[in-house]
Structure 1
């Protein structure tokens, strides 16, 4: 029963998304973050919020696992990390290999996509992937604007 009380390490913070993006040191990574922010805003229609110190999230969902653990997490988003752009768009419930095959240069993790720079990928395909990831997530958990 104590498992239910465990808080996610990544929580919403009051930090301004625009201030965070402006603080990104690398000029290409900063420009890519601005472009991703515009893309995610256009696709979701949601105002982003900072999750933890470095993740820009759009929307959120509440989950309850079979174990009884529950919490809230961002529905989709990204982080302009020093080594790459981490894009959180694949909740792991569906196979997006057909879309990923058309994306361009990337690597995938358990629930995120790693892109060195936006110039390496097709932004139209990335938009398709973001939409597909949200649709997949919404089929399992109700998603709200935040």
Structure 2
């Protein structure tokens, strides 16, 4: 199954109103970069056990492990979860950057070193989230 089809199936599996909100965010990211590489992580390990929530991924980021190995991964991640929605910005070296630059203006959201969590898109300033996404994608 193609990645766009996997993403569509994932979005359709989410209950409303969160489904619509994930679709709004997905389209926002595609508008920022229509040709961006898409990823889909189903949240299962090699044995088929759930290890995380499914994620829609955007862009590319190379993870460099301490043992010298590398792994290609997505730069931006989007995931629905039981508490709301999470947006991941991977590969930020300054773990205070998101909080210091967007934490006071994004709205009602928990901002950590690489993640922004919120209950609904109505709790945040979408214009500020768009700036976060642009920042994340510029890191490629």
Normalised to the residue count of structure 2, the TM-score between the two structures is: 0.77
Q: What is the CA distance between 1:105 and its match in structure 2?
A: 0.6
> Contact 1:17–1:56 (CA<8 Å) still a contact in 2?
yes
More helix by share: 1
Aligned to 1:37: 26
Counterpart CA distance in 1 for 2:24 and 2:56 is: 13
Aligned to 1:59: 59
Alpha-carbon RMSD: 2.0
> Contact 1:62–1:71 (CA<8 Å) still a contact in 2?
yes
For this pair of structures, how many residues does the alignment match? 124
> Of the two structures, which has the highest relative contact order with CA contacts closer than 8 Å and spacing of 6 or more?
1
Could you tell me which runs of 5 or more consecutive residues in structure 1 were left unpaired when the two chains were aligned.
1-12, 139-146
Q: What is the CA distance between 1:98 and its match in structure 2?
A: 2.3
> Contact 1:40–1:77 (CA<8 Å) still a contact in 2?
no
> Contact 1:44–1:58 (CA<8 Å) still a contact in 2?
no
Q: What secondary structure is seen at the aligned counterpart in 2 of 1:102?
A: coil
Matched, 1:19 2:9: yes
